[in-house]
Chain A
Amino acid sequence: MQITSPAFKENARGALADPQLQRALGHVRSGFIDKRKVAVDALPEFDALRESARAIKDHTLTHLDLYLEAYERKVEEAGGRVHWAETAEDARAIILDICRASGARTVTKGKSMITEEIGLNAFLEKEGIRPVETDLGEYIIQLRNEHPSHIIAPAVHLNRDQVETDFRHAHTHLPEERDLSEPVALLGEAREVLRSQFLAADVGITGANFLVAETGSSVIVTNEGNGDLTQTLPKVHVVVASIEKVVPTLEDLSQILRLLARSATGQEMSVYTTLSTGSRRPNDPDGPEEYHVVLIDNGRSAMLGTEFQEMLRCIRCGACMNHCPVYHAVGGHAYGWVYPGPMGAVLTPALAGLDKAGHLPNASTFCGRCEAVCPMKIPLPKMMRHWREREFERALNPAVDRYGIKVWAMFARRPRLYRLATSLAMPALALVGRRKGAFRRLPLASGWTQYRDLPAPEGRTFMQQWRDRSVSGGAEI
């Protein structure tokens, strides 16, 4: 997809001025946070599980090559095939070949962020194959020709009435007088419309929440059951997954699953947790004739061994963005690419380039709420700071910012000079602001005073006053 992260500031301004979006974002702020808290508080071993899950993923990432090869062997033993894709382009070509080989005209899709990352839908359409999103949120987004604004709730930026309008516009075969005032009616209508699509599809494409090396299984976690229909009804099932999704064993999987839904939606488990292993065996009642896994790198292996490796522990629960006050303010689209919020602020520079995504790790107060709720204990603020360091090293950030910091640091490194400058400046500033106690406007401070007053200093600096009291044995300089 087209990346608009370089225009983050403009995107954010637009988002802040969009009343529909702001109304919708109110639900993120209340819903997800409270539900997660109830679920986490009810599980005394939650923190111990986080530690354990972190250790599982760290171990896996250290031996990623071995686990991926083991996984591949198991998939092939079960009658499936693994395709390795180094880039998004490779992945698209592989998927197209599979679709072409089965003569596919229509493919159904389960919810998958990696297919967003590789821009699969637009590519398939261009090649004459019709992708049909079957997750309700994704279906709505597809009708609107938009991209997801959240990794687990793709249409969270929309309100019910907007979706009703879209459905009335798209489903013209249904009676106009039907009642769509309740969300459940919208769900029912989407289900009805999608049913025939499931049956007509030649290929079903899903993502994977996990890949299990021990068994060669791919795992999807859903609430609507659409993923199961996507992967069992068509003749061909294609799993599209990035390489860091692998875990060693079923036991490891079950530990991390206990964290995933609680962190994401506050459920103990999502409604469906489905493991698929290979193609249909002779005695199986259903399942695909062909089972393919497209394993995508697309920049991830380059993160291994760097200060960003820990990001590959991410299980895409969305808790970081659900708790992020910046995400709450501007929503997911402002981030300008596939992954929004704190995890996107770390991942996007790695996958799409720091030169394009430099704003994202900068647009954070480092409040630390994301790291506090991350089930995989990913130090997100620390990694955002690392991106800022790389930006500073490569002089990618604005010259005026760099120069400002350098000048300030020149003073901060030299206490005598600093003391002299502040002893002159602060009393003068205090004198100007004395009457009102704050400034409504101040030269060079418009970033501050545009929206808030700047409290005036009290007068002489603490250091000036302290020295005059000369009550201290503090060393003079």
Chain B
Amino acid sequence: MQESRRVGLFVTCLVDLFRPSVGFASVKLLEDAGYEVEVPMAQTCCGQPAYNSGDRADTADIARVTIETFEEYDFIVAPSGSCAGMLKKHYPSLFKGDPQWETRAAAFSEKVYELVSFLVDVAGVESVAATHRGTVTYHDSCSGLRELGIARQPRKLLGTVAGLKLEEMKDPDVCCGFGGTFCVKYPEISNKMVEEKTANIRASSAGTLLAGDLGCLMNMAGKLRREEADIKVRHVAEVLAGMDEGPAIGRERG
């Protein structure tokens, strides 16, 4: 019997809206690993903006739509530790005591993975066929790191990219200050946090900053650009897929 390999790609709202190339890089990586990738059109957002604002009712409504849309797949994969963490760790808690949805949410969440950890831990990918000339540094986004234990997997695959040198920054595991709506509700504090982060990034010799979450990446890219730092910012999937030819995040599009 053939092993089931149908992946439903949860694109995430930020990738969908701001950086579609990360979506295409994700599709390529999953297909290269031997999976059949589908992108159901009925997806929007994981619901974190509502969930983290205390709006449980709207979050549950959004979660129901997401579960209905994706539960037919063998795996649900997202190029974001934050959104995957929401789907995997938080959806079940939204339906505690709901006889129908509690089981559905639990079955759904079992199948959810963040992209890079899926490639390494589930698909057993050992290396990627990509080239990137230059030094990069990798920021561990909080949810991926602490909710899903993602740290080793991206570094492992980056280590197989031809020409790439990984140089760790100081405190790669400390929050960049994005925090979803936090960054606009408490802009001064968020700014202080991202300043610390960009100082550490700039103190490394890396020409490129990578991470696995677009929210954090847009925050750091926006700050680096405001500081006029000559550091390119990309989602780790772009480099792993060998699709890092286009403009970096927040850079001129010719």
Contacts and interface: CB of A to CB of B under 8 A. Distances in A.
Contact of A363 (B18, B146, B180, B189): B189
B20 A461 contact: yes
Interface string A380-402: 00000101111111000100011
A82 B52 CA distance: 43
Interface string A346-382: 0000000000000000111111110110000000000
A452 B194 contact: yes
A362 B143 CA distance: 17
Interface stretch (B131-139, B152-160, B216-224): B216-224
Contacts of B185: 362-363, 401, 447
A393 B53 CA distance: 11
Nearest to B248: A437
Nearest to B249: A455
Contacts of B196: 325, 328
B42 A388 contact: no
Interface in B1-56: 11, 13, 15-21, 23-24, 37-45, 47, 49-56
B18 A458 contact: yes
B39 A365 contact: no
Interface residues of B, number: 75
B111 interface: no
Nearest to B250: A455
Contacts of A153: none
A418 B44 contact: yes
B189 A326 contact: yes
Contacts of B69: 415
Interface stretch (B58-66, B116-124, B204-212): B58-66
Interface in B135-188: 142-143, 146-147, 173-175, 177-188
A413 B179 contact: no
Interface in A408-464: 408-409, 411-413, 415, 418-419, 422, 426, 434-438, 440, 445, 447-448, 450-463
A447 B16 contact: no
A9 B129 CA distance: 49
B225 A453 contact: yes
Contact of A448 (B188, B193, B222, B251): B222
A337 B218 CA distance: 34
The CB with the most chain B CB atoms within 10 A, among A368, A406, A435, is that of A368
Interface residues of A, number: 74
Interface string B221-237: 11101100000000000
A330 B189 contact: yes
A477 interface: yes
Contact of B39 (A391, A401, A474): A474
Contacts of A281: none
Given A437-B250, A450-B187, A465 B20 contact: yes
Nearest to A419: B41
Contact of B222 (A390, A408, A452, A467): A452
B183 A448 contact: yes
Identify whether the interface residues of B are mostly helix, strand, loop, or mixed: helix
Given A13-B188, A477-B41, A409 B250 contact: no
Contact of A16 (B13, B58, B177, B188): B188
B226 A447 contact: no
Nearest to B220: A452
B65 A474 contact: no
B174 A369 contact: yes
A474 B251 contact: no
A13 B186 CA distance: 10
B55 A364 contact: no
Contact of A365 (B37, B61, B178, B250): B178
B189 A438 contact: no
B225 A452 contact: yes
A447 B184 contact: yes
A453 B227 CA distance: 9
Contacts of A456: 250, 253
A325 B174 contact: yes
Given A12-B189, A458-B20, A409 B37 contact: no
Contact of A454 (B15, B54, B222): B222
A473 interface: yes
A472 interface: yes
19 contacts: A16-B192, A362-B185, A365-B178, A367-B175, A368-B143, A387-B54, A388-B52, A392-B55, A405-B53, A405-B58, A408-B49, A437-B252, A438-B250, A448-B187, A451-B190, A452-B226, A457-B17, A463-B39, A463-B41
Of all A-B residue pairs in the complex, the 3 with the closest CB atoms, nearest first, are A365-B179, A447-B184, A388-B54
Given A392-B56, A402-B53, 9 more contacts: A329-B192, A366-B143, A409-B55, A412-B44, A422-B17, A438-B225, A450-B191, A458-B246, A462-B16
Interface of B: 11, 13, 15-21, 23-24, 37-45, 47, 49-56, 58-59, 61-62, 65, 69, 142-143, 146-147, 173-175, 177-194, 196, 218-219, 221-223, 225-226, 246-247, 249-253
